[in-house]
Amino acid sequence: MTLTSTALLTGGPVVPSRNLLRPLGPDEVRISGGFWADKQQLNATVILDHCETWMERIGWIGNFDRAAAGAVAEHHDGIEFVDSEVYKLLEAMAWELGRRPDAALEERYSALVARVAAAQEPDGYLHTAFGRPGQRPRYSDLEWGHELYCFGHLFQAAVARARSGHPDDVLVRTARRLADHIEREFGEGGRDAICGHPEIEPALVELGRALGEQRYIELARIFVERRGRRTLATTLFQGSDYFLDDVPVRDARVLRGHAVRAAYFTAGAADVAVETGDDGLLAAVKNQWRRTVAHRTYLTGGIGSHHQNEEFGADDELPPDRAYAETCAAIGSVMVSWRLLLQTADPAHADLIERTLLNAVLVSPREDGRAFYYANTLHQRELASETHDDELSERAEANLRAPWFEVSCCPTNVARTLASVGAYFATADDDGVQFHQYADLDVDTALPDGRHVSLAVRTGYPFDGRVVVSVAEASDFTLSLRIPAWSRGRARATLNGEPLPVDGDTLRLRRAFAPGDELVLDLDTSPRFTVAPDAVDAVRGTVAVERGPLVLCLESVDLPDAAAFDRVRIDTGAAPTPTADGASVRLVVEEGQQSESGDGSWPYRRLDAGAPVPFGRPVTADLVPYAHWANRGPSLMRVWIPAAG
């Protein structure tokens, strides 16, 4: 495919004008049931309403009304970037409406857009916290003001709406006026500046793609290239690396600094590289991502190990108990992986998307959809404090999932991700359809030469590894299914009952399919032990248990004696056995340690040369999916469990 000036008004959040793979839009792929349908249903019926209700209650939506009425300088609620939360909610609503029209939601969406649009100023600028008499001047705090960051999220919402059959929506027109304003302010000849928090970069590319406006893509390119010159003022604690402003993107070797900033920026750089055909930039992004995955990523797919500054740590510095692993950073990781998957078709990117969505993202919402984790530890050392469903949470840590935060980027990010998650499951190319993720899916699409592909996928995934693909319509094409890394060499497949050879990372089948043809892929989801590279010091001598794409964890509520939690060791001599949604493992409870150090004095002790480095009573315990943890009240938790000697 080649660069085109045509607007790309179908498809999901990311529709590159050229790539190896073409993402399917909500009109081409639909989640019809099962695990992910339940999540989307929860989003549609609970999370969207939860976000809207909270933001009405605490005045974040009201900021727009006051802005329109000229009263916001006297009374603005929340920190300076709360506009973006409203925009992420609008994006979520727009995707949800595109997925499944609903008159009541349509009305809520339109009413909210009208309130936002009313706050736009005549020159296109739209921000409730800057620029009016009594407020700080526009662009007077590029480091922390988040103005362009907010604009980016407005653009993403407009893209969602435009790609859901409403290219002339009020929000789309609002976005266009705002983008034109930014171009005048920051384009060639304008301010030589960038925003402290990236987001405008991928957003401008996508708005440009959706509206066929190459100017917006060019503006994104300028923002990407301007970064790395140390123009953003640093503070006592935030250096240039925090902002990704330390090194030009082409020279960087790894993602660093604030993890969400890093991921969003990297996604934008990938977009610019693809649209401008800049292979050098794309290679830089790929290398940085490769190193980030290899050395700076938790088993769950989470990224960002420092609470301080919500930053990446050094290579291999991945402490489970101080994992920050912000929900938004995990979503940013999916954004980067998805762009590279479309560009390279390398299933490793789909592997990471699967791992990250199922573990690092889905751990955020409580099972009832009314509370969220912001930071996502892999080891809960102390019982968390309870939260109250009507209390705004100051902190993103040390408590159970909270209904809303003073900085509340994660809930709306989860909402927009769930509403559009179907976009990440399948793609098409010139010769067929590729399945990257598994769920109950109905696919109906046309290849460029007019061939029609109509398929249904049914599966008990992620708990069950059987994936059944049924052909609904005769057609000659290539059907591709990813073999996840954890099942490579352990997968089996049949076509209409006849065994098929399966090896490598993809099952690829080209043939003239007939209606009723049935492909069955059996992935090995039996629970398994996993060890970390030795370089990851923080988990030396421990193992994790995974089951298919799910990272499991041990919660103290599942031990016969919760008080023994800190003394259990896992017996790796016996394979874990499956339970309904997790696995059962054999544990050994160490004795004595507790009383020795207990509440006593100096805890470290002499080890005589030649004596074994020290490593009870056996019990079994059930592990549950990491994403499900802390749904039964406060509990201690471990992903990495010390191994018995």
599 near a second copy, rule: CB under 8 A: yes
Footprint (CB under 8 A) of a second copy, residues 616-645: 642-643
Would you count residue 606 as binding a second copy (CB under 8 A)? yes
Per-position b or e across 541-565, b if 16+ CB within 10 A of its CB: ebbbbbbbbbbbbbbbbbbeeeebb
251 binds a second copy (CB under 8 A): no
Site for a second copy in 331-360 (CB under 8 A): 348, 351-352
Closest distance of CB 391 from a second copy, Å: 14
User: Based on CB atoms, which residue is closest to a second copy, 445 or 525?
Assistant: 525
User: Which among 192-200, 222-230, 445-453, 525-533 is the span making contact with a second copy, rule CB under 8 A?
Assistant: 525-533
CB of 52 to a second copy, least distance (A): 23
Q: In whole angstroms, how close is the CB of 392 to a second copy at the nearest point?
A: 11
* Rounded distance between C-alpha atoms, residue 353 and residue 38, angstroms: 19
383-422 binders of a second copy (CB under 8 A): 394-395, 406-407
Sole binder of a second copy in the list 277, 279, 575, 618 (CB under 8 A): 575
Segment lying near a second copy (by CB under 8 A), choices 179-187, 230-238, 336-344, 512-520: 230-238
Minimum CB distance to a second copy smaller for 131 or for 304: 304
Nearer to a second copy, 512 or 609 (CB): 609
Among 299, 455, 583, 627, binds a second copy (CB under 8 A): 299
The SS3 of residue 200 is helix
Q: Which is nearer to a second copy, 52 or 351 (CB)?
A: 351
Assigned token pair, 88: 């992420």
- DSSP letter string, 398-463: SBS-BSEESS-HHHHHHHHHHHTGGGGTEEEETTEEEE-S-SEEEEEEE-TTS-EEEEEEEE-TTT
- C-alpha to C-alpha distance for 361 and 376, rounded to whole angstroms: 9
Place of tokens 């006297």: 74
Residues 6+ apart with CB under 8 A from 101: none
N-terminal to C-terminal alpha carbon distance within the chain: 57
Told to check if 600 binds a second copy by CB under 8 A, we report yes
The distance of closest approach from Cβ of residue 290 to a second copy in the complex, given in angstroms and rounded to an integer, is 6
Of the CA atoms within 13 Å of residue 105, those in its CB half-sphere come to 21
129 forms part of the interface with a second copy (CB under 8 A)? no
> Which distant-in-sequence residues (6+ apart) come within 8 Å of 215 by Cβ?
183, 187, 208
**Quick one: 448 or 504, whose CB is closer to a second copy?**
504
- Output phi, psi for 434, to 5 deg: -120, 130
DSSP state of 229: S
CA quadruple 419, 424, 425, 429: dihedral sign: positive
- AA letter at 569: R
Quick check: 122 and 60 in contact, CB under 8 A?
no
Helix (H) or strand (E) holding 104: helix 103-118
Query: Among residues 352 and 415, whose Cβ is nearest to a second copy?
Result: 352
Instruction: Name which of residues 434 to 493 contact a second copy (CB under 8 A).
Output: 485-486
Distance, in Å, from the CA atom of 466 to the CA atom of 355, rounded to the nearest integer, reads 18
Nearer to a second copy, 177 or 381 (CB): 381
Span interacting with a second copy, options 63-71, 320-328, 465-473, 505-513, rule CB under 8 A:
320-328
Stretch that binds a second copy, among 13-21, 121-129, 377-385, 460-468 (CB under 8 A): 377-385
Ranges within 264-293 binding a second copy (CB under 8 A): 290-291, 293
- State yes or no: residue 613 binds a second copy (CB under 8 A): yes
Please count the CA atoms within 13 angstroms of the CA of 71 that sit on its side-chain side: 8
Residue 283 makes CB contacts below 8 A (sequence gap 6+) with none
Residue 33 has which token pair?
């049931």
Measured CA to CA, the distance from residue 426 to residue 443 in angstroms comes to 8
Q: Does 605 help bind a second copy (rule: CB under 8 A)? A: yes
Of the residues 236, 251, 498, 501, which one makes contact with a second copy according to CB under 8 A: 236
Q: Is residue 566 at the binding interface for a second copy, with CB under 8 A as the rule?
A: yes
Site for a second copy in 534-553 (CB under 8 A): 534-538, 540-544
Residue 554, φ and ψ in degrees, nearest 5? -100, 125
Q: Which member of 78, 268, 319, 332 binds a second copy (CB under 8 A)?
A: 319
Verify binding: residue 532, a second copy, rule CB under 8 A. yes
Residue of the chain from 214, 506, 530, 584 that contacts a second copy (CB under 8 A): 530
Q: Does 313 bind a second copy (CB under 8 A)?
A: yes
Q: Which two tokens stand for residue 176?
A: 């266009």
Nearer to a second copy, 390 or 534 (CB): 534
> Whole-number minimum distance, CB 485 to a second copy, in Å?
6
Minimum separation from the CB atom of position 560 to a second copy (A): 20
3-state secondary structure of 203: helix
* Residue 163 is a binding residue for a second copy (CB under 8 A): no
> Is residue 505 a contact partner of residue 349, using CB atoms and an 8 Å limit?
no
Query: Which one of residues 307, 451, 466, 492 is an interface residue with a second copy (CB under 8 A)?
Result: 307
| Least distance between a second copy and beta carbon 541 (Å) | 4
510 sits near a second copy (criterion: CB under 8 A) = no
Would you say 533 and 640 are in contact if contact means Cβ atoms under 8 Å apart? no
